């Protein structure tokens, strides 16, 4: 057991987060995942699915033994998008990335991330939790069953993808570490290692490393929020945020912290990297909203990859990236132009 127990909180579970989150979590999770996403009954494909790759023309890469064992029991296609959303080809998913730790070019992550050592990997859990400690990646996943969830990914730069992630609900991990009654937000911190990450050595870099992101606790506990350890049936490629990244499908892609090494629960709203860099451009919430443009990019439409000069493949952007039925209630009464 790798969790070091700290002082236990006197908080009861129902005092920790909004009542509707904890008390209805299991029921809500089933409802959301089986709801308007176009999800059919969750189906487990044959174990051979993982072993054989499950997808054509996909480089399986390498995976630690623990992940190989867990793939055999994964819940494949637990969430699928609508029929109009076709999977983005693996090559685009792995060669068109924003991962500034490896450079600002879209192909820099695939070019420079190969040497990142992702095994062993551990994550510090601290802050307003009753059970702080350092967890090996396998223990971050815990006993939760891996799920494949095919989500839309919308970048604030107005391009988008459809990606089959593999991961576990963030809520499962948070429930295990027992947030205290003071916990209101979750802060994510990415790896800071200039020796392995050339983008962090750049004299032209603007980000004050390490990269940080944050969510409200009820956003973090939402059934759609995923800690991803893989995609396309295999472990997560380095350029996509290996070995552990955050996926919040109704928010712009920059909210998805990559190569996570610390998860802290806080009483106050954490300052995020992009918010610190340009608060007039990047808000804390960063919900996909076609009615609120970024100063440099209209958010009304998006370029779904793959696309080309003569076939730009433009589609209209949907509120909350198409997940409004599941998440709009989180922001009831808020001015989404002010809280962008």
103: left (phi > 0), else alpha (psi -120 to 50), else beta?
left
190 annotated to a ligand binding site: yes
Q: Residue 56 — φ and ψ, nearest 5°?
A: -75, 150
* Angle made by CA atoms 231, 170, 270, in degrees to the nearest 5: 110
Determine the Cα–Cα distance for residues 44 and 148; give it in Å rounded to an integer.
Answer: 10
Q: Hey, CA dihedral for 281, 112, 192, 137, is it positive or negative?
A: positive
**Residue 207 burial class via C-beta count within 10 angstroms: exposed 0-12, middle 13-18, buried 19 and up:** middle
Q: Tokens at residue 215, please?
A: 């969510």
DSSP-assigned beta bridge partners for residue 151: 163
Q: Tokens at residue 182, please?
A: 């003071």
DSSP 3-state assignment of 316? strand
CA distances (Å), 56 to each of 53, 90, 258, 318, in order? 7, 9, 26, 30
Query: Parallel, antiparallel, or unpaired for β 159-169 and 301-304?
Result: parallel
Q: Tokens at residue 103, please?
A: 């450079």
97 annotated to a ligand binding site: yes
257 annotated to a ligand binding site: yes
Determine the Cα–Cα distance for residues 247 and 154; give it in Å rounded to an integer.
Answer: 11
* Angle made by CA atoms 18, 14, 320, in degrees to the nearest 5: 25
Question: What residue numbers does the annotated binding site for Mo-molybdopterin cover?
Answer: 97, 100-101, 155, 190, 240, 245, 256-258
Question: What residue numbers does the annotated binding site cover?
Answer: 97, 100-101, 155, 190, 240, 245, 256-258
């Amino acid at each position: 057991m790798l969790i070091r127990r700290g002082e236990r909180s006197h908080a009861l579970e129902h005092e920790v987060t909004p009542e509707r989150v904890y008390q209805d979590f299991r029921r809500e999770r089933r409802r959301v995942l089986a709801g308007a996403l176009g999800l059919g009954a969750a189906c487990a494909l044959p174990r051979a699915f993982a072993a054989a790759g499950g997808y054509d023309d996909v480089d399986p890469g390498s995976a630690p033994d623990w992940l190989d064992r867990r793939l055999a029991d994964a819940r494949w296609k637990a969430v699928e998008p609508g029929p109009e959303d076709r999977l983005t080809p693996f090559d685009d998913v792995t060669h068109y990335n924003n991962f500034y730790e490896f450079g600002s070019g879209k192909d820099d992550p695939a070019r420079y991330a190969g040497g990142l050592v992702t095994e062993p990997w551990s994550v510090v859990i601290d802050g307003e939790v009753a059970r702080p400690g350092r967890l090996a990646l396998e223990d971050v996943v815990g006993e939760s069953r891996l799920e494949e969830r095919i989500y839309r990914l919308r970048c604030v730069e107005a391009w988008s993808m459809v990606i089959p992630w593999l991961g576990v609900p963030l809520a499962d991990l948070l429930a295990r570490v027992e947030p205290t009654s003071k916990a209101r937000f979750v802060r994510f911190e990415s790896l800071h290692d200039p020796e392995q990450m050339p983008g962090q050595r750049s004299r032209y870099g603007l980000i004050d490393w390490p990269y940080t992101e944050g969510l409200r606790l009820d956003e973090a506990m939402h059934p759609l929020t995923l800690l991803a350890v893989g995609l396309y049936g295999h472990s997560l490629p380095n350029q996509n945020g290996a070995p552990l990244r955050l996926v919040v499908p109704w928010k712009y892609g920059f909210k998805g912290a990559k190569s996570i090494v610390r998860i802290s629960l806080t009483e106050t709203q954490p300052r995020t990297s992009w918010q610190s860099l340009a608060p007039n451009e990047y808000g804390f919430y960063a919900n996909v909203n076609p009615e609120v443009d970024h100063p440099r990019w209209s958010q009304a439409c998006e370029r779904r990859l793959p696309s080309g000069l003569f076939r730009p493949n433009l589609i209209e952007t949907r509120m909350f990236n198409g997940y409004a039925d599941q998440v709009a209630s989180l922001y009831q009464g808020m001015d989404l132009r002010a809280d962008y």
